Amino acid sequence: MLDLDTRELAAAQEGARRAASTLPDAMGRTAPSRVRPLWQRALESRARTRGERATILPGATATASKTSVRLTAAASSRPLYGGLVPSQQWGIYEYGQRGRGAVAMPAAGEVGRQVVALWVHDIVDELGDIPGAEVVR
């Protein structure tokens, strides 16, 4: 016979209820101040040519909330020397002859994985703060 009125089950239910109300806040701590440096470093490490740095890096920003992350590159509308406008003509340097992303696309994939890891870390920390909960790492 299965007894569902155990203290352990009651504690698990209470922990799940508390976690449901606090997890979004924990994920929200992955603020832009943590994401923006990841994004800047990822872009800078992939922008190899002077043209890529001049076109892709200006206007690069990152915002994060408890439900999403927005990564932006080549957002500058100020024309470069020669007339190229990064926000309109960035594809020349991102895709070029290869036809696939060279700077921002791979950087976004890397940063996306890092942000998910930050969210998981924040969630585990939050679960560890619930009285009576034990998080095995």
pLDDT category at 34 given cuts 50, 70, 90 is confident
Q: Which two tokens stand for residue 78?
A: 């100020």
Residue keyed to tokens 């585990």: 124
Coil, strand, or helix at residue 5?
coil
The first and second tokens of residue 103, run together, are 């700077």
**Residue with token string 């190229």:** 84
Question: What residue ranges do the domains of the chain occupy?
Answer: 30-128
- For CA atoms 111, 73, 98, 54, the dihedral sign is negative
Percentage of the chain modeled with pLDDT above 70 = 72
Length of the chain: 137
pLDDT of residue 57: 93
pLDDT digits (tens, 9 = 90+) for 77-87: 999 998 999 99
Contacts of 131 (CB under 8 A, 6+ apart): none
User: What pLDDT, on the 0 to 100 scale, is given for residue 26?
Assistant: 66
Residue 2 above 50 pLDDT?
no
pLDDT, tens digit, 9 for 90 and up, residues 104-134? 999 999 998 898 888 777 777 777 766 666 6
Least confidently predicted of 2-6, 11-15, 48-52: 2-6
